[in-house]
A and B are shown apart, each in its own frame.
Chain A
């Protein structure tokens, strides 16, 4: 990790050396520069090759094999991909993950925006409010999920008791196959702090004159929101949606913990009995990938699932960034 300390550069006032010397010193300087760059980049060059490029290629190869980590991989062609169609847990996993991306992500982004809007309107105590709304985002996901499992616990959880006192319906939340994902969405909304702070910063950046001008033109609060605020912060909305979708694709921890703990199973050794509890409603795509690859050691099939996930992640990112130019105000903020 040592590198030449200086990058030589001919001082403009120096006496002119002969052309050959100039060329030689320049070549030496170029080489030294390249070595400097290489030295600075070396951690990433190694990291990218070993932990990214090589695994990516190997995933593609393994996806065409049968591999259990004990015997060497056996070539099976596209059998793993064909099996996806028949795998009874593959499509439910796709559907559950899709639900999180199509329902939970928009709900969370809209909610983050609403919270940021209320905080931005607060004249006093904005700092305290920001802290309160940000704090849950810091809670370790496992801790937050356990907290919600207790709060939402049917019959014994505080929420159930409060709903009972108010004579409101007392649903089963994490134990109800129709409500498990909405409950996880509420958990996600509680931890909305990071996006909220980004929204808040950009809301406070919108020039006041724009609002004043709109007000002079007789725009009401709703019109100001739609025609001034939203266009001005559209790059941030895009950022929130893109990161939300990417997080949605790898949504694992909360779903896995909620499923195994509520289902009374063992989260570590993954017996598989309570997988996706209740009734497979929390069996997200990455959860099934984990189960196949690292509990059943169907490494080839898990690799095939990873390749499919890679293709989807890549196209989602590309589509979002491509279409963004059309609906993001001043799309140059994108790159």
Chain B
């Protein structure tokens, strides 16, 4: 696996070949670097899936190809563990968080991008600071707060804060809202539309790609989150999300590698499907997060 870090050196032929052959060889060489890289990125997925289809004995044997294919692993993992409950918890966390992020961050981003007011610049800096600071900085008092509310052990501490604006989403949406020409808002204003109407009927329809990206990122963040669930529901297996459950599989259920990998595949699958369903929104969204003056 170390080889992934080293770009391959292009092979060179000793005798000078005719130009077209040199070009062809060059193209093959260039592609071979890319192909080798691509293969290395795919290999872990391949082995995870293959192991998910092995018997326990095979997973520990030198064999790399499962034979016979044990599709029942995907069934067994639901029987041996509470996977369905964990998936349900994870889905609850992810869907409600996404909903909260959208409901709360869109108006804030609108005010930061399209309304002129004193202190707007300062508010933006505060959002940026909140975005950049490590989560661990504020985690102790937050935990104390939720402990006093008796929310620790439930999903609420993970979900509720999302209904009060998420700095990253606010920033991303603001960046996109800025690119919408002011004339659209102005002409709506001439027609007597208020700011809420302008947001709902002008800005949101035009900002659909950015909103889709924010929704995807929020869903993905919650689906993948480990620190939050570990902190707040780690002690209560009823509320475990897939992340926390999976991290405990090996020790808690003495689950073998083949079943762990089967659960891993099931955990990754929704994310992969979501990606293929909304590939364009993903790539546009990631590009949007990069700096652009």
Contacts and interface: CB of A to CB of B under 8 A. Distances in A.
Interface of A: 3-7, 9, 33-34, 36-37, 39-44, 46-48, 50-52, 54-56, 58-59, 62, 69, 107, 111, 114-115, 118-119, 121-122, 129-136, 138-144, 146-148, 150-153, 156, 158-159, 161, 186, 189-190, 194, 197-198, 201-202, 235-236, 238-239, 246, 249-250, 252-253, 256-257, 260-261, 264-270, 286, 289-290, 293-294, 299, 302-303, 306-307, 309-310, 313-314, 317, 332-334
Contact of B143 (A54, A150, A198, A293): A293
A121 B32 CA distance: 12
Given A4-B194, A142-B243, A40 B141 contact: no
Given A152-B1, A189-B5, A313-B137, A51 B161 contact: yes
B264 to A, nearest CB: 5
Contacts of B48: 147, 150-151
B123 interface: yes
Interface of B: 1-2, 4-5, 7, 30-31, 33-34, 37-38, 41-42, 44-45, 47-48, 51, 59-60, 62, 64, 103-105, 107-108, 110-111, 115, 117, 123, 126-127, 130, 132-145, 147, 161, 163-165, 170, 189, 192-197, 220, 223-224, 226-227, 230-231, 234-235, 237, 240, 242-244, 246-248, 250-252, 257, 260-261, 264, 267-268, 271-272, 275, 279, 282-283, 286-287, 289-293
Contacts of B224: 140-142
Of the listed residues B1, B51, B62, B194, the one surrounded by the most CB atoms of chain A closer than 10 A to its CB is: B1
Contacts of A118: 7, 30, 33-34, 37
Given A107-B5, A253-B227, A268 B248 contact: yes
B193 to A, nearest CB: 8
A44 B164 contact: yes
A334 B34 contact: no
A139 B105 CA distance: 26
Contacts of B44: 136, 144, 147-148, 151, 190
A55 B164 contact: no
Given A139-B268, A294-B143, A43 B163 contact: yes
Contact of B62 (A42, A161, A236, A302): A161
B290 A236 contact: yes
Given A138-B272, A313-B132, A62 B141 contact: yes
Given A47-B165, A146-B246, A148-B44, A40 B290 contact: no
A46 B127 CA distance: 13
Nearest to B245: A268
A290 B231 contact: yes
A141 B230 CA distance: 13
A238 B291 contact: yes
B183 to A, nearest CB: 16
A interface: dominant SS: helix
A34 B283 CA distance: 37
A334 B194 CA distance: 34
